[in-house]
Amino acid sequence: MKKYGSSWLGMALAFAALVGLSGAAWAAEAPILKSLSGAEKARVAKLIAGAKKEGSFSWATNLAPVKAAKALEKDFKKYYGLPGVKFRFAMRKSGTLIKRFEQEIKANKLSVDVVVLAAASWLHSMIKRGNLMKYTSPEDKFFVPAAKAKMNAPGYWVADGQLNTMAVNRDLAGNVKLTSWFDLTNPKYAGKVLVGDSSRSETYTLWYMGLRRVLPKSYFVKLNAQNSGIMIRGSAQRRSLMAGEYWFGTTIMARHNWIAKKAGVNMSPIYPKEGTVALPIGAVIMAKAKHPNMAKLFVDYWRSVRGHHKMLEYNPLNSGRPLPPHKNPDINKFILADDGIAPPLDRINIIPIDWGKVGHDDVKKWRAEFNDVFSSAPRKN
């Protein structure tokens, strides 16, 4: 009897200690509050108190891989003193997420608080229909490069950039100097250039539309005549460039250069002097978000230097704000450098596009032109 009695006592004490410790973790001042003062400290403290009551949070993106999302979650919880909040996360294609959320909004069953997407036309449509919450984060004022490129929607989002730009497999092409889009029309590169298929992808249509502001149609006619390949998925383009099927990509996202680099293939981006198209990536709060306090805190974190630096450890992102050096020198060298995988937008010549004015008719128009230019298949492979 005595033996069992002491076991029960021990278990009760351990349980009490556990409850006490977790309570202490919730009650202790969040690290972020130590760096704040005055009204801003009170604002964040109020949001944290609200977030504790909400207890959970849901976000979705087409950008961050699961590992990055988990790392962001862990760091966020630690920094904001919210260890007990339950996170839900989904990574899908932007089209899939949009379809789902549109139906959820119609049925009044929204399951997500924050969406991080490179889908400007949908995000602007969401503003028009009153489906996004107005929120200005203290971090927003730093996104000047994105504002210059007309990528922000003040009050709703400030943008980072999804760059679909030129990339080269240097293991095959060597140290060739490429500074202009026109360099790819050099006859010696015939059959070695890969183009994103704008006839089947809105992202690449917008890329085509953007580049046509600085390049003539004849440029693309020449690219097609030079036996350029076209492919739809970014992952297929990455595989093709890594395997050496093509040497030069024209619509390669930073993530794909990063994946190639991790696997030991020297694939690097080029930012041509004529300019690069950057699709705005907006982290937005849904108007009917069930966890608005958590959503605001997470958006603050996403837009902060800390959030950007954490993301860069797992996934490259062209920051819409200038960034100080990262504590990891490799990230500074391979990602943030001027010729790195994802330098902030202030170091790149971005083609300004007023994304609020780009509609479906533009997509149709430019897709029709792309189809016209690239309708004939290459003669040889």
Partner 1 sequence: MSTESDETQSSLKTGAAAAQAAVAPAPFLGRMFNAENLTKVGSLILLTVLAIVPITVYLQSSFRVHVEGSQLGLTLANYVQTFTEPKILRAIWNTLVIAVGTAFFSSIVGVALAWFHARTDMPWRGALEPLTLIPFFLSSFLGAIAWWALAAPRIGILNRWMIDLFGVSTPPFNIYSMTGIIMVMALFYVPYMYLFTIGSLNRMDPALEESARVCGTGVLRTALRVTIPLSTPAILSGAIIIFVVSAGVFGVPTLLGPIARIDTLSTVIYVKMEEYPLDLGGAAAAGSVLMLIAVIGLYVQRKIVAPRSYVTVTGKGFRPNRVMLGNWKYAALALNLAYIIMAVVLPLGALFLASINRAWLGGFRWSQLSFYNWDFILFSYDYAMDAMKNSLMLGFVGGFMTVVLCTFLSMVILRGRNKKLSSVVDYVATLPIGVPGLVMGMAFLITWIKTPLYSFPLFLLMLAYMTRYLPYGLRTITAILQSLGAELEESSRVCGESFIGTIRKVTVPLLRPGIFAAYLMLFIMFIRELPVSALLATEDSTPMAVALYVISENEALGVVSAFALVQAFILLVGTILFRRLGNIEKLSV
Residues that bind partner 1 (CB under 8 A): 65-66, 88-93, 95-96, 98-100, 102-107, 109, 111, 119, 121-122, 125, 128-129, 171, 197, 199-202, 229-236, 238-239, 242-245, 255, 259-260, 262-265, 360, 363, 371, 374-378, 381
Q: How far is the CB of 197 from partner 1 (least distance, A)?
A: 5
Q: How far is the CB of 178 from partner 1 (least distance, A)?
A: 21
Compute CA distances 108 → 90, 119, 123, 287, 362, whole Å: 19, 22, 18, 11, 31
CB nearer to partner 1: give 95 or 356. Answer: 95
Question: What secondary structure letter does DSSP report for 272?
Answer: -
The distance in angstroms from the start CA to the end CA of the chain is 84
Residue 343 DSSP SS3: coil
Q: How far is the CB of 259 from partner 1 (least distance, A)?
A: 6
The burial class, CB within 10 Å (0-12 / 13-18 / 19+), for 14 is exposed
Would you put residue 116 in left (φ > 0), alpha (ψ -120 to 50) or beta? Answer: beta
Please report which helix (H) or strand (E) contains residue 90, including its range. strand 86-91
Tokens of 21: 């410790």
CB nearer to partner 1: give 46 or 360. Answer: 360
CB nearer to partner 1: give 118 or 336. Answer: 118
CB nearer to partner 1: give 6 or 103. Answer: 103
Let me know the angle formed at the C-alpha of 99 by 94 and 103, rounded to the nearest 5 degrees.
Answer: 145
Query: What type of residue is 301?
Result: Y
Contact (Cβ atoms closer than 8 angstroms) between residue 266 and residue 167: no
Length of the chain: 381
CB nearer to partner 1: give 240 or 332. Answer: 240
Q: How far is the CB of 58 from partner 1 (least distance, A)?
A: 9
Query: How many contiguous H segments (helices) and E segments (strands) does the chain have?
Result: 16, 10
**Which of 297-330 are b and which e, b meaning 16 or more Cβ less than 10 Å from the residue's Cβ?**
bbbbbbbbebbbbbbbbbbbbbbbbebeebeeee
Tokens of 235: 């992952």
Q: How far is the CB of 330 from partner 1 (least distance, A)?
A: 18
Q: How far is the CB of 154 from partner 1 (least distance, A)?
A: 21
CB nearer to partner 1: give 115 or 348. Answer: 115
Question: What secondary structure letter does DSSP report for 64?
Answer: S
CB nearer to partner 1: give 203 or 304. Answer: 203
Q: How far is the CB of 157 from partner 1 (least distance, A)?
A: 16
Q: How far is the CB of 231 from partner 1 (least distance, A)?
A: 5
CB nearer to partner 1: give 208 or 271. Answer: 208
Work out whether the CA dihedral 353, 357, 361, 363 comes out positive or negative. Answer: positive
